[in-house]
Amino acid sequence: MSQSLHLTAFMRPVSLHTGAWRYPGAYADANFNFTHLKAFAQALERAKFDAFFMADHLAVLNMPVEALKRSHTVTSFEPFTLLSALAAVTERIGLAATASTTFDEPYHVARRFASLDHISGGRAAWNIVTTSNPDAARNFGLSDHVEHGERYKRAREFFDVVTGLWDSFADDAIIRDQESGIFFDPERMHVLDHKGEEFSVRGPLNIARPVQGWPVIVQAGQSEPGKQLAAETAEVVFAAPRDFATARALYADIKGRMPAAGRNPDHLKILPAAMIVIGETVEEAREKRARLDSLVHYDSAIASLSIALGHDASGFDPDGPLPEIPETNASKSGRAQVLRLAEEEKLTVRQLAQRYGGYAGLAFVGTKETIADEMERWLHEQAADGFTCVFPFLPQGLEDVTGTLVPELQRRGLFRTDYEGATLREHLGLPRPANRFFP
Amino acid sequence: MSQSLHLTAFMRPVSLHTGAWRYPGAYADANFNFTHLKAFAQALERAKFDAFFMADHLAVLNMPVEALKRSHTVTSFEPFTLLSALAAVTERIGLAATASTTFDEPYHVARRFASLDHISGGRAAWNIVTTSNPDAARNFGLSDHVEHGERYKRAREFFDVVTGLWDSFADDAIIRDQESGIFFDPERMHVLDHKGEEFSVRGPLNIARPVQGWPVIVQAGQSEPGKQLAAETAEVVFAAPRDFATARALYADIKGRMPAAGRNPDHLKILPAAMIVIGETVEEAREKRARLDSLVHYDSAIASLSIALGHDASGFDPDGPLPEIPETNASKSGRAQVLRLAEEEKLTVRQLAQRYGGYAGLAFVGTKETIADEMERWLHEQAADGFTCVFPFLPQGLEDVTGTLVPELQRRGLFRTDYEGATLREHLGLPRPANRFFP
Ligand SMILES: Cc1cc2nc3c(=O)[nH]c(=O)nc-3n(C[C@H](O)[C@H](O)[C@H](O)COP(=O)(O)O)c2cc1C
Ligand SMILES: Cc1cc2nc3c(=O)[nH]c(=O)nc-3n(C[C@H](O)[C@H](O)[C@H](O)COP(=O)(O)O)c2cc1C
């Protein structure tokens, strides 16, 4: 259990909320205008955030066209190019990129993260995903998605290969003695020669060991094999619990698996994703959120809701409550989440659709004090080691967090007032991994 | 035929010369110290270079360990991460990255270049290579290298898929009307649905059309299919002629193929790679080069020479002339090049080995005037549209070019004194490609 919070910013492609680009003052072009991303990253660095996280998908998101044409997700930067550019204009903030183990190659992934780690002076992190969007498969020569269990099997071996490649050179292998002309010591280079069920990769990597030894390993899978992979490999988990109770259960579950995997539970930070909407009063915050939700077009919202329910909702009375609907084969957890939301907040069909079509995950909506109270509780009661902040809209939603919530957390001693170390590992309080071939 | 020169900088991994890191004043850590690369790129931009080119290999270069341990090529940045970082700290210079069609996926390559083009405001270029290093195959699950003809067949289709993906959105597809809530017009999005012999890629790309329409296409293959691919697709050719005569022949050859491919020969710029060593006098330049060559360790040099000759040269008298040696199965062109070098410059075995082990390609060694004369001749006699400059050592070799040769070329009206346009296409005088689906 940490004594203070870790905060990362979840940028995908800018805000996750589908109405965000329409909010008053929003930069509608931020998904492909680097100037804005640079300003966001620099503001987060001034607020001493642990990391800027660029989520990623390998296809246009699968939505009905009525929703898609209203969605800013249709265009976005690619993470390595974006984060490398940000590395050059920031100095301390961590840079976490998603890379897929299902549709990429270990040699490429190992190299890019090692290179980002060298460019940024030790600030890179890899969010290992197995890619749940089935449309991605069709962009990579497959007609069907790779099966879930097989994806995780491949992910586990992918991790072994990538970390093995990062260990190609001992930390002291590169001598570069201009006098003798010896650039490196071949005895301190390891040829991996990996031959596994999924991969054959010879190595060595053609880049010196990363500054952090290994870039920080992040995992965000929520399934049984996802949690197991996290317990075995991850140093940060981006979680998506719906509330405090599920967060605590998840926290105990994943950390509980770690000793059996030979790991210290302190070497993993669990950071649930939470949208943060701040007002001068709780009422004002709720109004901001309602206003934001109202920017999700009804056609688009109802299309998303129909998919989640597995039932065409377009004929329902928008201003009435959600009617009884028969169970179908649609994703059970998605459907259950919608039904719960409708019941808990007594939303009309329209509000429910807009909420669901906007951002359906965990949200802290209140004043800086009420939100700091919540965060403090999650931290102290072992539901979280910090949060992966989702900004409701940009730039204002981000400035609300950095300008009001962060100072409040700092006042309470819950968040750093300056970076203490230089690398992301140091920000997170994580050990630098030993080289497995040159311990 | 252009009336003025185009200049790009060939950075791989910093200098191609294997002795460069030992030259007095050289930064021995430049291959993994971003600060140096940033300074180089900014200096090249101040000199109004067309582009900074990051060459790339997908394995540690295949050399005997005696040579390898003395080579700075063992570690290097990965091009997308490096060039994206440079994009954030430069404003006008083009950024050309190598990406392999043999060991990567069209969807990834299309996305990364599109993203780099957006981040840089239209400065990206893609050097299409089929990867000649056979060791690369073993880092990607193959035991043998993909056969040469097959590699080029794949490259051609890869190009079609990537350019098709870049055309996923019409230039005016992204509307982002905050009032109506329409982000883009689905009628102006094209789903590629490519099904070819090598690839099945559905699309669309999840990024808006690149600023340049397409990033600039570069090709550096020297074989028959390489030249044909260039004639069909390339807008820049990085060539490697050994002298003026072969350069003119190559120039005529590639440009001569273009009309049959339906292309205007002016829409391709041929830029031979040339190492540039500048002195106050020709004699001083030759001394610099000799000094540089002498920094190539004899063990390492002789190992490289032996491979090139297909014959163990380690027993030869280092200070005598190259003895007669029987022909073998080794690469014929490499062997012929060595023999020619030995004869033309009357080099001893040691000098030959060091020359060959250092940098065996075309070199302009002289004063700013003699080199400008040469360049002018190549330009006016249709041997080149400019050059891909290889710096013998860094930073000094680069500063010699930007500080003395470039002003001399500018004085003669052979090189721009400022950028006229904003994009790399504009620097190169290349048209912006029409969108094939939304002409
Ligand atoms: C905070 C968070 C961030 C995520 N980021 C990504 C991402 O960038 N790319 C992606 O394909 N999936 C992302 N996911 C999805 C997960 O990787 C995972 O696929 C999903 O939670 C379903 O779990 P499972 O894969 O274990 O079945 C993210 C999930 C969470 C909770
Ligand atoms: C100036 C220049 C730059 C090159 N850059 C690269 C590179 O970055 N990566 C690579 O694998 N090959 C590179 N090559 C090699 C060519 O792509 C090509 O493989 C080689 O010239 C052999 O020709 P072929 O492939 O047509 O047989 C380069 C060649 C030249 C002349």
Cis peptide upstream of residue A395 (ω within 30 degrees of 0): yes
Contact B75, B40 (CB under 8 A): no
Q: Does the structure show a pLDDT above 90 at A62?
A: no
Segment A23-34 shows an average pLDDT of 94
Q: Which of B78, B98, B333 to mutate to test the pocket of ligand 2 (most atoms within 8 A of CB)?
A: B98
Nearest ligand for residue A230 CA? 1
Q: Work out which ligand 1 atom sits closest to the CA atom of A272.
A: 1
Contact B256, B270 (CB under 8 A): no
Q: Which of A127, A150, A159 to mutate to test the pocket of ligand 1 (most atoms within 8 A of CB)?
A: A127
The phi and psi torsions of B39 (rounded to 5 degrees) equal -65, -40
3-class DSSP assignment, residue A364: strand
The phi and psi torsions of A262 (rounded to 5 degrees) equal 75, 25
Which A-chain residues 156-175 have CB contacts (< 8 A) with chain B?
Answer: 169, 174
CA of A73 to the centre of ligand 2 (A): 37
Higher pLDDT, B328 or A10: A10
Among B431, B424, B370, CA closest to B45:
B424
Q: Which helix (H) or strand (E) holds B68?
A: helix B65-68
> Identity (one letter) of the amino acid at B300?
S
Q: State the maximum Cα–Cα separation within chain B, in Å, rounded to a whole number.
A: 82
- pLDDT confidence of residue A1: 43
Pairing relationship of beta strands B194-195 and A216-219 according to DSSP bridges: unpaired
> Under an 8 A CB cutoff, do A139 and B203 touch?
yes
Segment A368-384 shows an average pLDDT of 98
Among B198, B206, B250, B78, CA closest to A83:
B78
Pairing relationship of beta strands B216-219 and B124-129 according to DSSP bridges: parallel
Chain A, nearest residue to B162 by Cα: A139
3-class DSSP assignment, residue B27: coil
Ligand 2 neighbours, Cβ below 6 Å, are: B 10, 55-57, 98, 127, 129-132, 220-223, 226, 238-240, 273, 388
Q: Does the structure show a pLDDT above 50 at B177?
A: yes
Separation in Å, CA of A83 to nearest CA in chain B = 8
State the pLDDT confidence band at A228, using cuts at 50, 70 and 90: very high
CA distance B429 to B423: 10
A112 chain-B contacts, CB cut-off 8 A: 78, 80-81
The beta-carbon neighbor of B70 closest among A182, A203, A300 is A182
- pLDDT confidence of residue B409: 98
Among A435, A426, A372, CA closest to A213:
A435
B297 chain-A contacts, CB cut-off 8 A: 181
Among A116, A128, A129, A97, CA closest to A212:
A116
DSSP per residue, A127-187: EEE----GGGGGGTT-SSPPPHHHHHHHHHHHHHHHHHHHTTB-TT-EEEETTTTEEE-GG
**Chain A with chain B: Cβ pairs closer than 8 A:** 220
> Under an 8 A CB cutoff, do B141 and A178 touch?
no
Q: Which helix (H) or strand (E) holds B119?
A: helix B106-120
Ligand 1 neighbours, Cβ below 6 Å, are: A 10, 55-57, 98, 127, 129-132, 220-223, 226, 238-240, 273, 388
SS3 content of chain B, % helix, strand, coil (to 5): 45, 15, 40
**Domain of residue B224, CATH code:** 3.20.20.30
State the pLDDT confidence band at B38, using cuts at 50, 70 and 90: very high
Instruction: Check CB contact of B187 with chain A, cutoff 8 Å.
Output: no
Residue A295 inside a domain? The answer is no
Contact A367, A285 (CB under 8 A): yes
Separation in Å, CA of B295 to nearest CA in chain A = 8
Please tell me the total count of domains within chain A. 1
Instruction: Check CB contact of B183 with chain A, cutoff 8 Å.
Output: yes
Q: Does the structure show a pLDDT above 90 at B152?
A: yes
A77 chain-B contacts, CB cut-off 8 A: 115, 118-119, 207
Which B-chain residues 355-414 have CB contacts (< 8 A) with chain A?
Answer: none
Q: Does the structure show a pLDDT above 60 at B390?
A: yes
Q: How much of chain A exceeds pLDDT 70, in percent? A: 98
Q: Which helix (H) or strand (E) holds A411?
A: helix A406-411
Q: How far apart are the first and last CA of chain B?
A: 28
Segment A44-73 shows an average pLDDT of 92
Q: Which two tokens stand for residue B108?
A: 């990834």
- Comparing A19-33, A417-431, B62-76, B420-434, the range with the smallest average pLDDT is B62-76
Pairing relationship of beta strands A236-239 and A363-366 according to DSSP bridges: unpaired
Instruction: Check CB contact of B80 with chain A, cutoff 8 Å.
Output: yes
Q: Does the structure show a pLDDT above 90 at B326?
A: no
- pLDDT confidence of residue A420: 96
Higher pLDDT, A378 or B300: A378
CA of B347 to the centre of ligand 2 (A): 27
Q: Does the structure show a pLDDT above 90 at A3?
A: no
Q: Does the structure show a pLDDT above 60 at B2?
A: no
Residue A325 inside a domain? The answer is no
- pLDDT confidence of residue A66: 82
- pLDDT confidence of residue B214: 98
Residue A103 inside a domain? The answer is yes
Tens-digit pLDDT profile for residues A122-147: 999 999 999 988 899 999 998 888 89
Separation in Å, CA of B296 to nearest CA in chain A = 8
CA of B56 to the centre of ligand 2 (A): 9
Residue A25 inside a domain? The answer is yes
Q: Looking at ligand 1, which residue's alpha carbon is closest to its atom 11? A: A131
Q: Which two tokens stand for residue A405?
A: 């919530």
The neighbouring-strand residues paired with A219 are A128, A237
Tens-digit pLDDT profile for residues A95-125: 999 999 999 999 999 999 999 999 999 999 9
State the pLDDT confidence band at B331, using cuts at 50, 70 and 90: low
Segment A11-28 shows an average pLDDT of 92
Contact B191, B203 (CB under 8 A): yes
Q: Looking at ligand 2, which residue's alpha carbon is closest to its atom 28? A: B220
Domain of B77 in residue numbering reads as 6-279+363-428
Residue A104 inside a domain? The answer is yes
Higher pLDDT, A43 or B300: A43
Neighbouring C-alpha atoms within 13 Å toward the C-beta of B239: 31
- pLDDT confidence of residue A337: 78
Q: Which two tokens stand for residue A338?
A: 């919608």
Residue B208 inside a domain? The answer is yes
Higher pLDDT, B156 or B330: B156
Q: Which two tokens stand for residue B114?
A: 């599109």
Token match 């074989």: residue? B223
- Comparing A296-305, B10-19, B407-416, the range with the smallest average pLDDT is A296-305
Q: Which helix (H) or strand (E) holds B216?
A: strand B216-219
Stated pTM of the model? 0.96
State the pLDDT confidence band at B1, using cuts at 50, 70 and 90: very low
Residue B348 inside a domain? The answer is no
Which A-chain residues 323-352 have CB contacts (< 8 A) with chain B?
Answer: none
Q: Which helix (H) or strand (E) holds B9?
A: strand B6-11
Tens-digit pLDDT profile for residues A167-203: 999 999 999 999 999 999 999 999 999 999 999 999 9
The beta-carbon neighbor of A107 closest among B58, B69, B88 is B58
Pairing relationship of beta strands B6-11 and B51-54 according to DSSP bridges: parallel
- pLDDT confidence of residue A252: 98
State the pLDDT confidence band at B329, using cuts at 50, 70 and 90: low
